[in-house]
Structure formats: C-alpha cells, structure tokens
Amino acid sequence: MDVNIDWVTWAPLILAGTAVVLVIVLMRGERSRTESSMHMARISETAQRLTETQAQLAGRMEQTQVALSARLDGLTRRLGESLTQQSEKTGDSLRVLHERLAVIDAAQKNITELSAQMVGLQDILSNKQARGAFGEVQLRDLVTAVLPSTAYVFQAPLGNGRRVDCLLKLPDPPGPIALDAKFPLESYQALRDADSESAKVQAARAFSADVLKHVKDIQDRYVVPGETADSAMMFLPSEAVYAELHANFRNVVEESFRRKVWIVSPTTLWATLNTLRSVLKDVRMREQAGLIQAELRAMTDDVLRLDDRVQKLQRHFEQSVDDMRQIRVSSEKVARRAERIEEFQMGEDSVEPVSAVPKLHVSGD
C-alpha cells in the first residue's frame, strides 16, 4: 500500500518537533555543562584541599621526621653512653675478677704450701722422736715467750741422772718444778679411728694406759725430794688430746692429781706460766723490800745530817749578817769623821789660833 505523506502538512510539525528536541537537547547540554562546571569547581576545590592537605601532611611528615631523627639521635647517644658505661663496668668487673683470680691463685698456692707442710707435719708426727722434738719446741716457745730467762732451764740435769725438758726455777715453797712434754698421739689416733664399739673400748684402754704411763714416768724421774718440788707438770702439745682426756677419761686426770703431776695443754700452760710470772715478780718485790727499807733508813740519816748542816749554815749566815751590820756601822762613822776632817781643812784661813782647833777624839769603835 502506498503511503503518501503530506509534507506540507507535516513539515511544520516535524520542524517544530525537531526544534523542541533541539531545545531539549540544548537545555540538557547547558545543564550538563553547568553541572560539569560545578563538578569541575568541586573537583578543583577538592584538588586544592588535597594540595593543602598534602602540604600539611608534608609538613607533619617533615616534623615527624625531624622529631624521629632527634629521638633516634638521642637513642643512639644514650645507647652509646650505655655501651660505654657497660664497657667500663665490664672492664672494672674483669679487673676485679682478675684481682680475685690473683688472690685465689695466691690462696691456692698457700693451700698447696700448707698441704705440703701438713704432709711434712704428718711425717713429723708419725715419727716418735720427731714428735717428741715437736713437743719440746712448742714447750720452749711458750716458756721463752712468757717467763724471763732467769726463771727456767731447758734440758736441766737432775741429781738422779735424768734430764727434764724444762725446769722452772721457783722459790721455796714450792721450789723448782719439772715440766716435761709428752705426746700420746698414736693411741689417741687409734681412739679417733675406731669404728666399732669393741675397737673404741680397746683403744680407750690403750690411750688411758699410755697417758698413765707418762704420768708415772714423770713422777718417778722428775720429782726429786730435796731438789725439786713435790709436784711436776706434763705438757700435751695438742688441745684435742687434752680435751679428750678431760672429757672422757676423768679417772686418768684424777690419778694424775693424786700423783701430783699436773697435765697442761698449750692454752692452760700459757695461763699457768703467766701466773708463775706474777708469783716471781711478787717474790722479787719482797726480796727487794728489805733493800728498799735499808736505803730508806740511810736516806733518812742523810736527811737528818743535811738538816743539821743547814742549821749550822744558817747560824753562820746570821753571824755574817751581824758582822756585815757592824761593818756598815763602822763605815758610816769613818765617813762622818772624813766629813769633819774636810770641814776642818776648809776652815784653815780663819783668825782662830791653832790652839783653838778642837782635838780629834779617836774612839775604839
């Protein structure tokens, strides 16, 4: 079917519609341009804000970096100082440790020397003769340290042919006292090493018998009637042996008392010797008291003679004073007569005859 369009009729309509469409399009374009402009302005404002924010962030980042750098510098400095101090403390600790190690080395050396000395001491004590010499040396050291040299004699011979380790020279009573060193180490060591009851009983009997034998020997050998005191002393060079004896062997101690043999250790001997020194000092003072009294009497006589001579000197002095007084009186009379003679000489040109001159009277004074 053919469709015939009336262009004359529809042309204005088409043109009007086209114009409307164009107007609508233009209006939409203008609105779009306005919106675009506003959007661009917003974008520009946002970009400006972003720029300002970026600048602020850059400033803050710079401040943060500066602060962080300062903190890192401070931390580095403190870390360096701490490391330096720690190094110094470590050096001091190492130096102290070195000194202590040196002290420990010296102590170890001393311990080694002491161990060697202990081995030597054990060798000495294992030998009976050397053990006796050890006791005598200790006894000698104690006696010489406390008493004067006139109060003792070592290895003193006695009238019965025996020699005592030390003879203490005390005045009567009691007289000289014998002091002998004994060291029952073997029986004591056996007592210490006993590990069973029967072994301890047997070792205790042996130790008791050994000490009692020494007590009896000292009584028989070193108590000489008329020459020494009726008692003597037994010196034990070991405090441990002395303590064991007095702690667990009271019967032995009592037997020594009955036999008048006094058992002493280094400590008790020291106290005993100091007491004896005081006794000797008191005896010497009593001996010197008579001499002092005699000297005082002689001094009294000298004082009396001196007083008598002082009195005589005083009388001579008083006589001299009287003589001086009389001499003074005579000298004054001579002076007065000299003045009269001078007056007489001054009057030689007067008209009086010579016979008128008065005669001088010479006095016996």
The answer to whether position 31 is within a domain reads no
Domain that includes residue 147, residue range: 128-276
Q: What H or E segment, with its residue span, contains residue 102? A: helix 7-126
CATH number at residue 209: 3.40.1350
The answer to whether position 88 is within a domain reads no
The answer to whether position 194 is within a domain reads yes
Write out 250-278 in H/E/C secondary structure.
HHHHHHHHHCCEEEECHHHHHHHHHHHHH
**pLDDT surpasses 60 at 80:** yes
- Give 224-250 pLDDT, tens digit per residue: 888 888 889 999 888 888 888 888 889
Contact between 172 and 156 under an 8 Å Cβ cutoff? The reply is no
The answer to whether position 283 is within a domain reads no
Between strands 163-168 and 177-181, the pairing is antiparallel
- State the pTM of this model: 0.46
The answer to whether position 241 is within a domain reads yes
Q: How confident is the model at residue 216 (pLDDT cuts 50, 70, 90)?
A: very high
Mean pLDDT, residues 308-324 taken together? 83
Of 232, 218, 217, 214, give the one whose Cα is nearest residue 168: 232
Contact between 245 and 253 under an 8 Å Cβ cutoff? The reply is yes
- Give 321-338 pLDDT, tens digit per residue: 888 888 888 888 888 887
Number of domains in the chain: 1
Distance CA 197, CA 233 (A): 33
The answer to whether position 6 is within a domain reads no
Q: Within 13 Å and on the Cβ side, how many CA atoms surround 240?
A: 7
User: What are the residues whose beta carbons fall under 8 Å from the beta carbon of 202, sequence distance 6 or more?
Assistant: 194
Helix (H, G, I), strand (E, B) or coil at 166: strand
Distance CA 314, CA 326 (A): 18
Q: How confident is the model at residue 10 (pLDDT cuts 50, 70, 90)?
A: low
The answer to whether position 154 is within a domain reads yes
